[in-house]
């Protein structure tokens, strides 16, 4: 293989992952062949296999890319307007604004998680990370006084993540589901679970 | 085929559906072959094909059976203690008490719904029925005065069904998920969405 720079290698990886995602979304994990993915990426099998030796490796690569993106969306949280403003922004972004391809890939991964131990492990470890990032964010909310100290944060996080799964499945399967209409109801529930005081200064009422 | 009574035919159908469900849960819709299902049901292919000519027909049969069961759980609702008692009973039953095989089959169907038009149609029409049964129940709650008349019932139903999807996926995939712990949080959210007055006579507080 000709020597290419680290940046070129990284760009090439991202192109392959985007091509693989389109194939998985279109044909499913089983239906998409490595050959289809090579064709979609416009690469020879020999070249693509140097980057990703299997469909599982491609799923792992996509999960790694998405994990970095979600980590970034938590890391750039600006708490100056309160934790609820941050949570609302995350809800709008992850439930309504993310491209439908991300939603469909996520449901495809969930659909395969029980049957493929590698994919199950990817899905579970992503879940553990999201739970930790949410916990850190809510702890910061408690420290700021936005969230009362006696709220059951673990229970609230489990419920918020449960609703998140449902939101993604609804977007994937229900043609009548309009996430923009449901996000305000989600935000109302989140404030209820975390017992935000509705008339606190600096916050819009739910 | 020897003449058998309608009752015997119905029993045989139910045995086949139970065997098919075990195979789909174990090996997935694609992994389970008609041959596996015949072996699990202890029947010859010729005999089983008379009842169900395809895996899609088996999924449709299971959905029909489950639809009848869910319809029954709504139809036997006893409103004498208020609509929230009924809703709590349904939540405990469908989220915590239903056998894990039902949950795993449902997630298998959802996972196949985008790729198989027949299965997608089964899944969507089930959804439409549940929405209608919930709507009838909540309308009865409004008529009784348990639920205020100005609640956005459509929004609440969409959110309750979204959470239900998430609960089933969590039960299927998350080994740390304890539905018994989460059902009380679900009930609290449901009461919040439907704005139940916490100290109404004849109802336990959430």
Q: What is the distance between the alpha carbons of residues B28 and B111, in angstroms, rounded to a whole number?
A: 10
Contacts of B173 in chain A (CB under 8 A): 110, 113-114, 120, 123-124
CA separation for the pair B105, B119 (Å, rounded): 12
- Residue in chain B nearest A152 by alpha carbon: B185
Residues in A closer than 8 angstroms to B192, CB to CB, are 188-189, 192
Q: Which long-range contacts (CB under 8 A, 24 or more apart) does A1-6 make?
A: A1/A47, A1/A50
Say if A111 is an interface residue toward chain B (CB within 8 Å): yes
Q: Quick one: pLDDT at residue B2?
A: 60
The sign of the CA dihedral A82, A86, A92, A97 is positive
**pLDDT (0 to 100) of residue A4:** 79
Which of A165, A185, A186 should one mutate to test binding to chain B, selecting the residue with the greatest count of B CBs within 10 A? A165
Q: How far is it, in rounded angstroms, from Cα B134 to Cα B71?
A: 10
Query: CB–CB of A162 and B170 under 8 A?
Result: yes
pLDDT at A99: 93
ipTM score of complex: 0.90
Per-residue pLDDT at A202: 44
Q: Cβ(A130)–Cβ(A73) under 8 Å?
A: no
Distance between B70 CA and the closest CA of chain A, angstroms: 20
Q: pLDDT value at position A199?
A: 43
Among candidate residues B151, B190, B146, B138, the one with its CA nearest the CA of residue B167? B190
The pLDDT of residue A35: 96
Please name the residue of chain B whose CA is at the shortest distance from the CA of residue A107: B111
Taking 70 as the pLDDT cut, the residues of chain A under it are 1-2, 197-206
- Interchain contact A206–B (C-beta under 8 A): no
CA dist A162 and B168 (Å) reads 9
Nearest chain B residue to A128 by CA distance is B174
Q: Which residues of chain B have pLDDT under 50?
A: 198-206
Separation of alpha carbons B150 and A175, rounded Å: 26
* DSSP sequence for chain B: -----HHHHHHHHHHHHHHHHHHHHHHHHHH--HHHHHHHHT--HHHHHHH-SSHHHHHHHHHHHHHHHHHHHHHT--GGG-HHHHHHHHHIIIIIIS-HHHHHHHHHHHHHHTT-HHHHHHHHHHHHHHHHHHHHHHHHHHHHTSS-TTS-HHHHHHHHHHHHHHHHHHHHH-TT--HHHHHHHHHHHHHHHTT--TT-TTS---
Asked if B173 and A28 come within 8 Å (Cβ–Cβ), the reply is no
Q: Which residue has the tokens 């693989």?
A: A20
State the pTM of this model: 0.91
Q: Looking at the complex, does the CB of residue B151 fall below 8 Å from at least one CB of chain A?
A: no
* A89 in reach of chain B (CB within 8 A): no
């Amino acid at each position: 293989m000709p020597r290419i720079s680290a940046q070129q290698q990284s760009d090439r990886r991202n192109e392959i992952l985007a091509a693989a995602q389109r194939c998985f979304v279109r044909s499913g994990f089983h239906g998409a062949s490595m050959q289809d993915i090579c064709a979609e990426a416009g690469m020879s099998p020999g070249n693509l296999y140097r980057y990703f030796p299997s469909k599982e490796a491609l799923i792992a690569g996509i999960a790694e890319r998405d994990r970095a993106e979600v980590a970034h969306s938590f890391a750039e949280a600006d708490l100056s307007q309160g934790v609820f403003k941050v949570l609302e922004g995350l809800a709008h972004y992850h439930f309504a604004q993310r491209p439908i391809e991300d939603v469909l890939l996520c449901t495809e991964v969930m659909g395969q998680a029980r049957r493929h131990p590698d994919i199950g492990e990817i899905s579970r470890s992503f879940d553990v990370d999201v739970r930790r990032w949410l916990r850190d964010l809510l702890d910061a909310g408690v420290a700021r006084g936005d969230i009362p100290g006696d709220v059951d944060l673990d229970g609230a996080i489990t419920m918020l993540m449960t609703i998140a799964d449902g939101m993604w499945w609804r977007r994937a399967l229900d043609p009548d589901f309009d996430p923009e209409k449901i996000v305000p109801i989600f935000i109302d529930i989140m404030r209820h679970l975390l017992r935000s005081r509705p008339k606190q200064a600096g916050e819009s009422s739910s």
